[in-house]
Amino acid sequence: MSRQITGAVIEELNAPFKLETLEVDDQPKAHEVLVHIVASGICHSDEAVRNGSAGDYAYPGVVGHEGAGIVEKVGSSVTTVKEGDHVILSYDYDGTCRHCLTGHPSSCINWGKLNFAGVRPDGSVAFTREDGSPIHNFFNQSSFTTETLVQERNITVIDKDIDLRKVGPLGCGFVTGSGTVFNGLNPKEGTTIAIVGTGAVGSAALMAAKIKGCSKIICVDIHDSRLEMAKELGATDTINSLNEDWVDKVHEITNGEGVDFAIDTTGISAIMHQAITALASGGHLAPIAVTAKTLEFMPWNEITALQKHVDGVLMGDAIPQIGIQTLIDFWQAGEFPFDKLEKFYTFDQVNEANKASNDGSVIKPVMVIDQDYVPGE
C-alpha cells in the first residue's frame, strides 16, 4: 500500500528542487514510523548534496534532514513513539555497535550506510514516482516532503505545546554547532574560542560557548548583519574578515596568545588553515563544514611542536534524543534563542529559501510545509 505525497525532488547533480507528486510506503515496517511533516529547516548539507560537494549521491532523490512533524503510523516493533506524537527528526544510527553503546551514536559503525545510502536499512526505497521508478532518501529522513518514513531512532518526541514550525533545525544545524562546543570541545569556563562563520551552525556554537562561560567568544564573518546578530547572541568580539586580518585581530584580542578553541564552519581551505594559526599552544580546532575542500598543514611545525589539535566532530557528537531536548530546555529558559535566526517560507518557495541560505541573507530558512498547522493543537 502507498499514499500520494508531495516531495521536492533533485533530479540530477545541480538541478533545482522540483515539487512532484510521489508515493510513499503507507505501511511502516517493524521499526519504522510514518511522519506528517509540518516544517523543515534548510541546511547547507542539503545544498551540498544538490551540488555534489557532499560526495556521491544516487539521484533522483529527496533531501531535507531538519524535519518536525506529527506521527501518523508506527511499525509493529516501535516502542518509544506512538501515533499523534509531535517529533523532531535527526540522524539514524544502529544503536548496537560499540560507539552507540558508549554514548557516541554519531560515530556509529553503520552511520554512513544508514544516513547516506539513499535507501531504507533493508535496501528498499521509501518513495517512488507514480510509474514506480525509485526516489532516494537522505539521512533516512527526507523531510522535504509532506509525509516521510523514518526509523524509530531518527525521532525525538517533544511536548505538543511546542511550535513545530520552529524546532526542526534543532535536529541538525543547531545540535551540530552547540554539540561541537558541549561535547566535542567542552571548553572550561574562562577559556577563549573563535567561531569562523556565523550561520546557523556557528551561531549555535556561539550560544553554547556563552552557556559554557567562555571569557572571549570571537566571531568572524564577511556579513555585517550576521556579526550584529552574533553580538546580540553573546559574542564578546566580532571581526569582518573582509576588512582586516582576522588572525592578527584574534591574537590582539587574546594578548598575543591565540584562542584555546576554534570552530570553522566555512569549509574553505585557506580559512581552515588560518584557524590553526589562530590557536594558542595546546589549542583545538574543529573544522565541521560539509566540504570537498582540503586542509593542509605541516604536522611538526604547525601541530606537534605547539601541541595543537584538529578534532573531527560529527553532528556535535550528540545523542539526538538527549541533545535536542537539552536545547529546548535552554531555549525555554531564554539561553538559546535559536528562533531569532529563522525565517519562514512556504514549500513552493524551496529554491528561494535555499538561495537565501547559500548567499547568507538568511541564517536559517525554514519551510512551513503544512500551512494548516496550528501550534498547540
Q: Is the peptide bond before 375 cis (omega within 30 degrees of 0)?
A: no
pLDDT digits (tens, 9 = 90+) for 222-276: 999 999 999 999 999 999 999 999 999 999 999 999 999 999 999 999 999 999 9
Rounded-to-integer distance, Cα 68 and Cα 229, Å = 25
Q: What is the overall mean pLDDT for the chain? A: 97
By C-alpha distance, which of 246, 182, 234 is closest to 203?
234
Taking the whole predicted model, whether its pTM rises above 0.85 is answered as yes
pLDDT digits (tens, 9 = 90+) for 353-368: 999 999 989 999 999 9
**In the predicted model, what is the mean pLDDT of residues 206-234?**
97
User: In the chain, helix, strand, coil percent, each to 5?
Assistant: 35, 25, 40
Split at pLDDT 50, 70, 90, the class of 55 is: confident
Split at pLDDT 50, 70, 90, the class of 1 is: confident
What's the confidence (pLDDT) of residue 151? Answer: 97
For residue 74, what is the DSSP state?
Answer: E
Pairing of strands 216-221, 237-240: parallel
pLDDT digits (tens, 9 = 90+) for 112-125: 999 999 999 999 99
Q: What CATH number has the domain spanning 177-314?
A: 3.40.50.720
Rounded-to-integer distance, Cα 343 and Cα 121, Å = 34
The residues spanned by each domain of the chain are: 2-171+337-368, 177-314
What's the confidence (pLDDT) of residue 360? Answer: 87
pLDDT digits (tens, 9 = 90+) for 123-174: 999 999 999 999 999 999 999 999 999 999 999 999 999 999 999 999 999 9
Would you tell me the crossing angle of helices 350-359 and 44-51 to the nearest 10 degrees?
100
The DSSP element (H or E) to which 195 belongs, if any, is strand 192-196
DSSP-assigned states of every residue in 119-181: S-TTS--SEE-TTS-EEB-STTT--SBSEEEEEGGGEEEE-TTS-HHHHGGGGTHHHHHHHII
By C-alpha distance, which of 65, 250, 230 is closest to 155?
65
Split at pLDDT 50, 70, 90, the class of 288 is: very high
CATH superfamily of 2-171+337-368: Medium-chain alcohol dehydrogenases, catalytic domain (3.90.180.10)
What's the confidence (pLDDT) of residue 376? Answer: 82
Pairing of strands 127-128, 17-25: antiparallel
By C-alpha distance, which of 65, 78, 71, 33 is closest to 160?
71
By C-alpha distance, which of 138, 177, 143, 115 is closest to 49?
138
Split at pLDDT 50, 70, 90, the class of 69 is: very high
